[in-house]
Structure 1
């Protein structure tokens, strides 16, 4: 299968080229030229399949032309060594708990899948080390760092905004060592993302070292997240609740909901989507006005969604042929302030006993506000609330137990390099590696 750039000024690429390059030469994002619909027979029996079985069928549809079947099956089964249950929170509202992977966040699947797929291609080439650059607002860095930890032939550089990720998140990528290097940037997430994109376009750097991305910029990072949506549908079908299914996605850089939309294009029978924003409401305003205006990101309680110019908007826009009507026919939006998030956390906990994290709170509240009679809603609970323990405990008056896998990170020795928000300084650092 070939992949084209959203900017339409780069040659078509193979999956191998799209994964290894990350960003297209014209600074666009790669998209599959064709999205194959999955057969109806797959959906007729999907409720009887395991998460791994479902994911393998979806992976074959997306990647099967470019990866040998046994190798692809091993990648999928190695990636999905955990479950993502749909848990009832209240009538007609379920949380798809995506925090049962190594870093207790939804990005584990995409990161682990990409690490193994990239290694598959690197071994085919038998060439020099590949260097992964990843900007993070919180969970991406930890998921990518842990997904790639110890993978031969790959070195990861994690760029994160100083003072703007939780201590637990920070510990998950600054304490690893080995092939993981953490760079603390004096700026916000958008600055980190801009440094990464500039690096991909720099001729000197690309002559010096082989670079790729592991943000949802990379097609191998965002597309595997579609597995979640198919499995959510299977679980709801098993409960007899798959008709009129609405899925709500807390959204920052929009890679997660973008994967769901690609799943929908492949035939997944979801009625509609809701994109839940925090105070960074750029996409919400686009839905309302038809105009897209990036803004400087605002720091919020839901820090992993603090994105003022979401990269994957370009993919969504292209997927629907630039039609505002086509997008709004399928996707609605919601936006919530920090005060709204606090209120939602308390209300949900007091009424149901369910502990949300700040990002999941946006998804839960958007369903509460937007579900229509006869619909069932699933919101993606994207991270374990313990990853935001200080914030959640302060709001709820709780003392959330920290899972041992998180506690182990926090006992590690922090290793990071301070980096100014300056591309030349970043370039000089990489040129010395």
Structure 2
């Protein structure tokens, strides 16, 4: 598998190099030189395959001979050892539950796959691998659990002060071992900017072997394609062949993976990028002007991103042709008041408790249906996190329905630790050197 940079299409590096380098020095993002078309018979009969079998097929097509077939199969079976059920709520309405992994968020797919790929490629005696990750909520917990105890790795997680939920913060600060957390007095965009500056800093790169666990890393994106194919397999068992996906979108890695699956041959009629008031992409699709802005805190905190990193990948998939992109991608925005109304509506209609991110994806599906009443496709809205992570968002009657998983209860008794820094890069750089 060869990859290029979105800023330099003449560049050629291997998957292994991209995994460990994470981000090109030219500040683009890595993309595969070739996106193969999956075998038509596989798509036609996909309902016959399990999630690990589908994942192995998709990964093999992309990675080619980067990892031998049997090793890749074993790696996937270890990483993706939980389900992603498409739960039927209405006649053609499904919610895709992506929170059945250890951190209770969809990020487990990417983080667990990536940690095992890195461990596979790491050799005894090699320089310690320093993984830097910015999180707006769920990425950090998934990465922490994915890498906890992995030899020869050290993970540094940056998260914004006061802008992650209590359970999310526990998942970041109670791990110890090779995981450390830094509370940044700023926004997620500030955390992300510090990580990106670190990758571009010559002194840090001379001292440390830096890589990222954010969705800028191509090894995070690939495994997220698995559950789109697996969902289509589940729909086919219901006799459904046409599907629309509504994806809660912040840094746009999740919907980017869906669009990569589409380019691989997954027959999807439409993708909906559902955002909160951090609406850089909806504004772009409306006006043709891409203008980032500082992020604003909302109930759906994992989507509080004003400058989504993965948007350049999505544009690259469509050769920067906005008209071609708009044929496949629609985008809607919703505020906190609408989000809360969506949570109540899902509870009333389906007796189902949805996290705020999931509620936004549901609202987007409903809006699309009203605007396209003739479309009879199955609608799948992605549930990206367990509702227990957002206890303060729900009305009391709905909150009482939430079952708290055992792993969350266990976190509350663990000691927690986080260092505290501002948004100055030189301060962060000094921290990394001092803690070396």
Partner of 1:205: 204
Counterparts of 2:321 and 2:93, CA distance in 1 = 30
Alpha-carbon spacing, 1:267–1:351, altered in 2? closer, same or farther (3 Å): same
1:9 Cα offset (Å): 7.3
Counterparts of 2:168 and 2:396, CA distance in 1 = 18
Alpha-carbon spacing, 1:267–1:9, altered in 2? closer, same or farther (3 Å): closer
**TM-score normalised according to structure 2 size:** 0.97
SS of 2:58's equivalent?
Answer: helix
SS of 2:11's equivalent?
Answer: coil
1:393 Cα offset (Å): 4.3
Counterparts of 2:415 and 2:395, CA distance in 1 = 25
Counterparts of 1:191 and 1:57, CA distance in 2 = 38
1:411 Cα offset (Å): 2.1
For the 8 Å contact 1:93–1:367, the answer to whether it is kept is no
Give the superposed CA RMSD: 1.3
Structure 2 gaps of 5+ residues are none
Partner of 1:398: 400
Matched, 1:369 2:367: yes
1:397 Cα offset (Å): 5.4
Partner of 2:119: 119
For the 8 Å contact 2:224–2:254, the answer to whether it is kept is yes
1:45 Cα offset (Å): 1.5
For the 8 Å contact 1:160–1:183, the answer to whether it is kept is yes
Poorly superposed stretches of 4+, deviation over 6 Å:
none
Matches within 5 A, 1:295-374: 295-371=293-369, 372=372, 373-374=375-376
Structure 1 gaps of 5+ residues are none
Matches within 5 A, 1:24-423: 24-123=24-123, 126-242=125-241, 244-371=242-369, 372=372, 373-394=375-396, 396=398, 398=400, 400-423=402-425
Alpha-carbon spacing, 1:431–1:289, altered in 2? closer, same or farther (3 Å): same
Task: Please list the CA deviations of residues 29-68 of structure 1 after superposition, one character each: whole Å capped at 9, or x if unmatched.
Answer: 0000100110011112210111110111001011132112
Counterparts of 1:127 and 1:272, CA distance in 2 = 45
For the 8 Å contact 2:221–2:253, the answer to whether it is kept is yes
For the 8 Å contact 2:353–2:401, the answer to whether it is kept is no
Alpha-carbon spacing, 1:397–1:71, altered in 2? closer, same or farther (3 Å): closer
Alpha-carbon spacing, 1:322–1:127, altered in 2? closer, same or farther (3 Å): same
For the 8 Å contact 1:172–1:410, the answer to whether it is kept is no
Alpha-carbon spacing, 1:205–1:368, altered in 2? closer, same or farther (3 Å): same
Task: Please list the CA deviations of residues 220-241 of structure 1 after superposition, one character each: whole Å capped at 9, or x if unmatched.
Answer: 0122100010000000011111
- Across the two proteins, how many residue pairs are aligned to each other? 431
Partner of 2:431: 429
Task: Please list the CA deviations of residues 106-161 of structure 1 after superposition, one character each: whole Å capped at 9, or x if unmatched.
Answer: 000100000000111112x7411100000000000000000000000111000000
1:71 Cα offset (Å): 1.4
Counterparts of 1:144 and 1:428, CA distance in 2 = 24
For the 8 Å contact 1:392–1:398, the answer to whether it is kept is no
SS of 1:247's equivalent?
Answer: strand
For the 8 Å contact 2:165–2:389, the answer to whether it is kept is yes
